[in-house]
Amino acid sequence: MARPKFVLLPTHPPERFAPVLGLAEYTAVEAAARRAREQFEGRAIWHVSSTLRGGGVAEMLHSLLPYVRGAGIDTRWAVLREDPAFFALTKRLHNNLHEDAGDGGALGPEERALYEGTLERSARHFEGLLRSEDVVFLHDPQAAGLAPHFKALGATVIWRCHIGVDDPGAMTRRARRFLVDDVEAADACVFSRRGLVWPELDPDRCRVMAPSIDPFSPKNQALGAGCGAAMLATVGLTAPNEDDGAPHFTRADGSPGRVERRAELVQDEPIPADARLVAQVSRWDRLKDPDGLLECLAVELATAENVHLLLAGPDATAVADDPEGAFVWREVREHRGVLPPKIRERVHLAGLPMVDLDENAAVVNAIQRRADVVVQKSLAEGFGLTVAEAMWKRRPVVGSRIGGIGEQIVDGESGLLVDPRDPRELAAAVLGLLGDPLWAARLGAAAHDRVRRRYLGAVRLAEYGELLGELEGVRA
Ligand code: UDP
């Protein structure tokens, strides 16, 4: 266990959103920012999470907080650095909250002692830094147990929950029992969707706010002609081509960036230039069902001509709070290895380097833009930022009819929803889109517009301003 990492955040001007949002919407954002600036003069808003990279929470904070700073509000981000035993326990809580047994371990008094002891020690690092006039957002189960400590310091505490399922069972309930006293210590809780709100909590203290993406980040920015192709060739996913541009992008801090590292690849040959590419980008997590996708390709898509499947995710050793990643990566590799050779040659696995997060994001961007169809075959999904990211890029997305994916995609309008347990339905949706590019483009255009209206960071800034205003009212 080490001292939390205090992240050095860049500052982005919220005015960037003006042309994307249109005048009326942007004026409302500006007014909210002005109010928040006045309210938080001389105070700080903190965020505490458990990883700097890999996964939706890190993504959301990287893409939202620089704009809050740009609006003139002192915003800070601390990342917990705990022992592997703590992260094994919090991954169990994460899985249980998705109604999955995870590693099958207990949530008894010993686990509670580990959880409390760890976070009590972590909380001490904030003494003298976090002041009673500050507001702190604690993200997900990993940070929830800090709530009583930060309340004792006098701060306003908000628990931000990104995960869960709509139909909780015994697993979910036991994880909630484990966490509920800590969560109740917070002044308010924010959930990513209505269906995730815990019935155990006072509804008046619960709010719903969807996550958001940053259209200007290396993950989502428009790429120059041939740049995406050059990035894919640089990481080794495709063969270099004379039409490729340079693998250039703009970094989060505005400086020029360039993709340079190779990915860890498991493939027979690079993806052919004319391949019809179906891609899923995710952490290596069983709940993203990479095995199910391989199975679907092997059985249902086997006869479809020239369809290639790419599963890409972070370099499996790089995500500190996800100890299962390396196991799942190995399982997927093994699964690919036993596929019949004719199928195997169409499956590409990529572990994307995480040394340089902007570079990693740029490669995700290039993959999502190259894909003819983006899939997200999750078995559970709190929200699923990868879906919003692909929709923003006007991709036709086929996603599981569950959780946050079902909220983002309007089936048949802005993408397609399928039963994740039915590989035939998934394959039919993918093949339908590959066979009808005009329809695919129509869905992609509607998807872009839906993200623009609902899931851009600027819209969230105004909502957070409102919540903080309300909490001030309660404190006064
Ligand atoms: N991601 C990434 N690099 C990778 C793989 C994934 O930056 O190599 C990002 C992905 O683009 C998305 C986030 O990780 O922004 C995953 O968020 P999501 O909400 O889809 O799922 P979670 O990982 O939180 O379960």
Look at residue 473 in the predicted model and tell me its pLDDT. Answer: 62
Task: Indicate whether residue 404 lines ligand 1 (CB < 6 A).
Answer: no
Range 322-348 average pLDDT: 94
CATH 3.40.50.2000 domain range(s) in the chain: 2-212+456-475, 274-454
Nearest-CA residue for atom 17 of ligand 1: 56
The model's confidence at residue 24, banded by pLDDT at 50, 70 and 90, is confident
Instruction: Identify the H or E element spanning 280.
Output: strand 276-281
The model's confidence at residue 324, banded by pLDDT at 50, 70 and 90, is confident
CATH class of 274-454: alpha beta
Q: Which residues contact 176 (CB under 8 A, 6 or more apart)?
A: 97, 168, 198, 200
The model's confidence at residue 474, banded by pLDDT at 50, 70 and 90, is low
Q: Which amino acid is at 219?
A: K
Task: Indicate whether residue 315 lines ligand 1 (CB < 6 A).
Answer: no
Tokens encoding 257: 């960036």
Range 462-471 average pLDDT: 85
Q: How far is the CA of 129 from the centre of ligand 1 (A)?
A: 30
Range 335-361 average pLDDT: 96
Q: What residues does 398 pair with on adjacent strands?
A: 375, 416
Tokens encoding 162: 């990104």
Q: How far is the CA of 380 from the centre of ligand 1 (A)?
A: 14
Q: Is CATH 3.40.50.300 the classification given to domain 2-212+456-475?
A: no
- What tens digit of pLDDT does each residue of 46-94 get? 999 999 887 789 989 998 999 999 999 999 999 999 999 999 999 999 9
Task: Indicate whether residue 79 lines ligand 1 (CB < 6 A).
Answer: no
Of ligand 1's listed atoms, the one at least distance from the Cα of 287 is: 25
Task: Indicate whether residue 9 lines ligand 1 (CB < 6 A).
Answer: no
Residue 269 has pLDDT above 80, yes or no: yes
Residue 116 has pLDDT above 80, yes or no: yes
pTM, two decimal places? 0.92
Taking residue 23's Cβ as centre, other Cβ atoms within 10 Å add up to 9
pLDDT above 90: percentage of residues in the chain:
84
Q: Which residues contact 183 (CB under 8 A, 6 or more apart)?
A: 144, 147, 159, 189, 198, 201
Residue 470 has pLDDT above 90, yes or no: no
In angstroms, rounded to a whole number, what is the distance separating the alpha carbons of residues 335 and 458? 42
Nearest-CA residue for atom 23 of ligand 1: 55
Taking CA atoms, 8 is separated from 17, 69, 405, 444, in Å, by: 23, 11, 32, 35
Vertex 313 angle, CA 311 and 314, to 5°:
160
In angstroms, rounded to a whole number, what is the distance separating the alpha carbons of residues 183 and 175? 12
Whether 266 and 348 have beta carbons less than 8 Å apart is answered as: yes
Instruction: State which of 265, 282, 359 you would mutate to test the pocket of ligand 1, scoring each by most atoms of that ligand within 8 A of its C-beta.
Output: 282
Residue of 9, 6, 4 lying closest to 357 (CA atoms):
9
In angstroms, rounded to a whole number, what is the distance separating the alpha carbons of residues 217 and 236? 23
Q: How far is the CA of 156 from the centre of ligand 1 (A)?
A: 29
Nearest-CA residue for atom 6 of ligand 1: 282
Q: Token match 């207990």: residue?
A: 106
Residue 172 has pLDDT above 70, yes or no: yes
Look at residue 461 in the predicted model and tell me its pLDDT. Answer: 83
Query: Phi and psi for 199 in degrees, rounded to 5?
Result: -65, -20
Residue 475 has pLDDT above 70, yes or no: no
Look at residue 198 in the predicted model and tell me its pLDDT. Answer: 97
Residue 438 has pLDDT above 90, yes or no: yes
Tokens encoding 89: 């326990």
Q: How far is the CA of 252 from the centre of ligand 1 (A)?
A: 17
Task: Indicate whether residue 353 lines ligand 1 (CB < 6 A).
Answer: no
- What tens digit of pLDDT does each residue of 306-320 get? 999 999 999 987 766
Residue of 15, 18, 25 lying closest to 459 (CA atoms):
25
Q: How far is the CA of 57 from the centre of ligand 1 (A)?
A: 8
Q: How far is the CA of 233 from the centre of ligand 1 (A)?
A: 22
